[in-house]
Amino acid sequence: MEDITEIKNIISQANRILIIQADNPDADSLASALALESILHSMKKEPLLYCGIDMPQYLRYLPGWDRVESQIPKQFDASIIVDTSAKSLLDQLSQSGSESWVASKPVIVLDHHADVQCDIGYANIILNDSSKVSTGELIYDIAKQLDWPMPIESLEYIMTSILADSMGLTTENTSANTYKVMAELVELGADRPKLEEQRRAYNKMEKEIFRYKGRLIERTEIIDDKIALLVIPQDEINTYSPLYNPAPLIQPDHLQTRGVLISIVLKSYDSGRVTGAIRCNYGTPIASKLAKTLGGGGHAYASGFKTENRNINDIKQSVIEKIQELLNEDI
């Protein structure tokens, strides 16, 4: 309760409140940020939305994505970092020289990746609750405890975040409380069928993406009949990522392949940076363990990492060996 009281104090004393997402935004981070924006507006505050990169095309089905700015505003009174506790995922904040400006104001971290130790040293409050399937579920809990107003759009953003990070309420960390929250959101007026239709309509792929998906399937390596691995080079990142992120485009197909337990998509940049998206099938909860070995983190079934100045072939070999080790431990 001490953290909740401190959050209340910080928000009550602030007017302009900056809501920060990591440099790898997803549907949970964006929906959580937009939910907070709606709640704070209803409290007569002035919320400001920031992310170090432009919102990916596949997230633009969420109304309000275009209010997210990639530059830190000159004036604000406090900030809330959503859906990450890792400083490494806020590189753009540091590189732009804005980190010290953010650190000079009260900072609240709201996350649900408790397996990742928060290293944001300038945070005043760190609320990282792994019992919540998404940051949106955490925000709903906080808003209820503090009796904050929750307009219908905030409820629908919260529902979107829950559905996104629980993969439609199918992941192992979807709890009884998650179902309770979903029921409450429906009772309060959130329209799940409408939200699902919005997502499906916007995420329909263009013909060139459909053909590209076929090439990704052909290039996928199936290792030991259990591991689906794919590398995306810089030129394809430049061409296709703005239209459709290759990882969510192909990973559901990886995991629908009989025998495959884990899917990993590596993006290889000319600078030497490599990012990895890890997804596992039910019964193989090793994603976060794998990500941690490469400086990342996340959930048992969905995680990611980022490394710098590493050869892609070395990364591939390290990933394969670690997966094999983790799978043997799990047997």
Are the C-beta atoms of residues 177 and 306 closer than 8 Å to each other?
no
Q: pTM for this structure?
A: 0.84
Are residues 252 and 189 part of one domain? no
> How much is the average pLDDT of 126-136?
93
Whether 263 shows a pLDDT value over 70: the answer reads yes
13: pLDDT strictly greater than 80: yes
Average confidence (pLDDT) over 155-178 = 90
C-alpha–C-alpha distance, residues 41 and 129, integer Å: 25
Task: Residue 125: count other Cβ atoms within 10 Å of its Cβ.
Answer: 18
Name the domain count of the chain: 2
Q: pLDDT tens, 269-301?
A: 999 989 999 999 988 999 989 998 888 877 788
For residues 287 and 278, the answer to whether their CB atoms sit within 8 Å is: yes
118 shares its domain with 226: no
- Overall average pLDDT of the 19-42 stretch: 95
CATH number of the domain residue 26 falls in: 3.90.1640.10
Q: Which residues contact 166 (CB under 8 A, 6 or more apart)?
A: 133, 134, 173, 174, 178
pLDDT of residue 202 exceeding 90, the answer is no
Model pLDDT, residue 279: 94
pLDDT for position 306: 85
Query: Sheet containing 107-111: which strands, arranged edge to edge?
Result: 68-69, 46-51, 16-21, 78-82, 107-111, 125-128
Give yes or no for residue 148 having a pLDDT over 70: yes
pLDDT higher than 60, residue 330: no
Residues 50 and 155 in one domain: yes
pLDDT digit string, tens, across residues 43-94? 999 999 999 999 987 788 899 999 999 999 989 999 999 999 888 889 899 8
Are residues 236 and 182 part of one domain?
Answer: no
Q: Are residues 34 and 125 in the same domain?
A: yes
Q: What is the mean pLDDT of residues 91-116?
A: 89
Which residue, of 200, 217, 234, is where some domain finishes? Answer: 200
Residue 307's pLDDT band, with cuts at 50, 70 and 90, is: confident
Q: Are 138 and 174 in contact (CB under 8 A)?
A: no
- Residue 203: pLDDT above 80? no
Per-residue confidence (pLDDT) for residue 233, from 0 to 100: 96
Are residues 49 and 189 both part of a single domain?
A: yes
Grouping H, G, I as helix, E, B as strand and the rest as coil, residue 188 is coil
The count of other CB atoms within 10 Å of the CB of residue 92 is 18
Task: Considering only residues 331 and 132, tell me which one the structure prediction assigns the higher pLDDT.
Answer: 132
Q: How confident is the model at residue 1 (pLDDT cuts 50, 70, 90)?
A: low
pLDDT on residue 181: 97
Q: Are residues 246 and 319 in the same domain?
A: yes
Same domain flag for 219 and 194: no
Mean pLDDT over 237-248 rounds to 88
* 232 lies in the same domain as 174: no
Same domain, yes or no: 145 and 245 = no
| 145 shares a domain with 71 | yes
The domain that holds 257 is classified in CATH as 3.10.310.30
Last residue of a domain, one of 143, 174, 200: 200
**Reported confidence tier of residue 254, pLDDT bands at 50, 70, 90:** very high
119 has pLDDT over 90: no
pLDDT > 90 fraction of the chain, expressed in percent and rounded = 69
Select from 179, 200, 221 the last residue of a domain: 200
Helix axes 27-42, 135-146, angle to 10 degrees: 20
The whole domain housing 241 covers 207-330
Q: Which of 40-54, 114-128, 210-224 has the lowest mean pLDDT?
A: 114-128
Same domain, 158 and 226: no
Mean pLDDT of the chain: 91
